[in-house]
Structures are given as C-alpha cells and as structure tokens.
C-alpha cells in the first residue's frame, strides 16, 4: 500500500499551494498556518473518505485533527480497517 503520508502531502500541495516556491513537510501547520482554510477542509475530508473507503464523522473532522499531515494520517489510520 502506498505511503499515506506522501499521498496526503501530495494532495495538500496540489490542492492548496498557489506558489510553487512554498515548501511543506509532514508537520507544517496547515489550518493554523493559514494554508488550508476551514472551508477548504471539506475537499480534503472527502478525498480521504473516497481514497481510503472510510467515513470520518464531522465531530472527528476538527481543525486540530486536520492541522498537519501527520495528524491527518493518524486520523485516517484510526478509521482504516486493519
């Protein structure tokens, strides 16, 4: 299975970065850092749900849980069937 971390990072870069010069890593603050606004989180959530065939309840899809690639991966892993 491809590395979830890299899939999420690639998606975030393609989806949210306007400027190619910006750099992101697994711990870059996405929402608190102003890269992803809370509205745009929707597409990320839907992408993850479609890609990994999971359902993330709205009460788990908090700005904190979506704030870094690492925290997103932790969230996804908690729903992916082992």
Q: Give me the residues that bind other proteins (CB under 8 A), please.
A: 18, 37, 39-40, 42-43, 46-47, 50
Burial class (CB in 10 A: 0-12, 13-18, 19+), 68: buried
Report the nearest approach of other proteins to the CB of residue 82 (Å): 27
Closer to other proteins by CB, 32 or 43: give it: 43
Closer to other proteins by CB, 18 or 59: give it: 18
Report the nearest approach of other proteins to the CB of residue 49 (Å): 10
Closer to other proteins by CB, 3 or 39: give it: 39
Q: Long-range pairs for 53-60 at CB < 8 Å and ≥24 separation?
A: 54/79, 54/80, 55/79
* Helices then strands, each counted (H, E), the chain: 3, 0
Report the nearest approach of other proteins to the CB of residue 29 (Å): 16
- Check if the beta carbon of residue 68 is closer than 8 Å to that of residue 29: yes
């Amino acid at each position: 299975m491809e590395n979830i971390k890299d899939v999420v990072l690639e998606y975030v870069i393609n989806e949210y970065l306007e400027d190619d010069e910006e750099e992101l890593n697994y711990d870059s603050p996405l929402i608190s850092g102003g890269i992803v606004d809370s509205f745009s989180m929707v597409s990320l959530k839907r992408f993850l749900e479609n890609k990994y065939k999971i359902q993330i309840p709205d009460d788990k899809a908090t700005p904190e849980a979506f704030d870094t690639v690492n925290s997103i991966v932790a969230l996804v892993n908690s729903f992916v069937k082992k």
